[in-house]
Amino acid sequence: MLGSGSAFSGCGHNSAYCVDGRILVDCGCAVQVQMPRAGLAVGEVTTVLLTHFHADHTYMLPVFLGARALEVRSPTPLRLAGPHGIEEYVRRLVRTGYGAGLHALIEENLRPATVVLQDGSDVTVDGYRIRAHAVVHSTGPSLAYAVTAPDGVTVGFSGDSEICAGLRRCVAATDVMVCECTSFDGPLASHIWAGEVSELVESFPRTRFVLSHLSDRRPLEGALVAHDLLTLEIPPPG
């Protein structure tokens, strides 16, 4: 859990998570700073998986890509996976933030390969199965993901979402669900609040919930409340 805070709360760094040091899910915080603190290496990331294009989930991506390109020339292309429009979005983000020079260096050293995902996508990347589910948010397209590791463990990421069919499908497929909980005090447009998380916990007793995208931290029965640099070791099924 590299970043567990909501966009404007100051409760923690903005959204970013890393699976096995290889799959980076969203890039809202200074990943090149947080990863070493968590005992991870920027150069080990093989895939960046974006849930949607809001700033608190993506705006540190040019810095991460730059750090990755300057650190090591990738022997295999770095994959950038996410909703339709990801290639153009990342290109504009890098060139707006740092210009054509860094963009050229990233292209040369990382040779990024784009994987476009949509509702129902089911792809395997570096041995990890990634299933995408369309969710309802204030900007589109937005996706939740179920990521299954080679050992069979499936971790879900809600991104930002309202309660919807796509989110429920994603939760049903996971052993552990990293679920946003942006409010504890009541409903918030385009986001999930604690009362709705409690309903999900009750509806999906097989799934363990880890709450992130937090405006503050309070206990919630049946769920683990994340903090920045929290590391979870999840045993394989059985």
Instruction: Give the residue-averaged pLDDT of 17-34.
Output: 97
**Beta-strand pair 154-157/143-148:** antiparallel
Q: Is residue 9 part of a domain?
A: no
pLDDT of residue 139: 78
Taking CA atoms, 212 is separated from 48, 105, 184, in Å, by 19, 33, 12
pLDDT of residue 67: 95
Does residue 52 sit in helix, strand or coil?
Answer: coil
Q: Is residue 117 part of a domain?
A: yes
For residue 72, is pLDDT > 80?
A: no
Q: Is residue 7 part of a domain?
A: no
Separation of alpha carbons 40 and 43, rounded Å: 9
Q: Are 181 and 193 in contact (CB under 8 A)?
A: yes
Q: Which CATH number do you get for residue 217?
A: 3.60.15.10
Q: Are 213 and 160 in contact (CB under 8 A)?
A: yes
Tell me which H or E stretch contains 87: helix 86-110
Mean pLDDT, the chain, whole residue set: 96
The pLDDT confidence band at residue 140, using thresholds 50, 70 and 90, is: confident
For residue 132, is pLDDT > 90?
A: yes
pLDDT of residue 237: 84
Please report, to the nearest 10 degrees, the dihedral formed by the alpha carbons of residues 77, 80, 3, 22 taken in order: -40
Q: Is residue 4 part of a domain?
A: no
Does residue 2 sit in helix, strand or coil?
Answer: coil
Q: Is residue 138 part of a domain?
A: yes
Q: Is residue 233 part of a domain?
A: no
pLDDT of residue 74: 75
Q: Are 71 and 109 in contact (CB under 8 A)?
A: no
Q: Is residue 11 part of a domain?
A: no
User: Domain tally for the chain?
Assistant: 1
Separation of alpha carbons 190 and 181, rounded Å: 11
Tell me the chain's radius of gyration from C-alpha atoms. Answer: 17
Residue 108 structural domain: 17-225
Q: What's the start-to-end Cα distance of the chain, in Å?
A: 24
Q: Are 82 and 69 in contact (CB under 8 A)?
A: no
Residue carrying the six token digits 């089911």: 122
Q: Is residue 1 part of a domain?
A: no
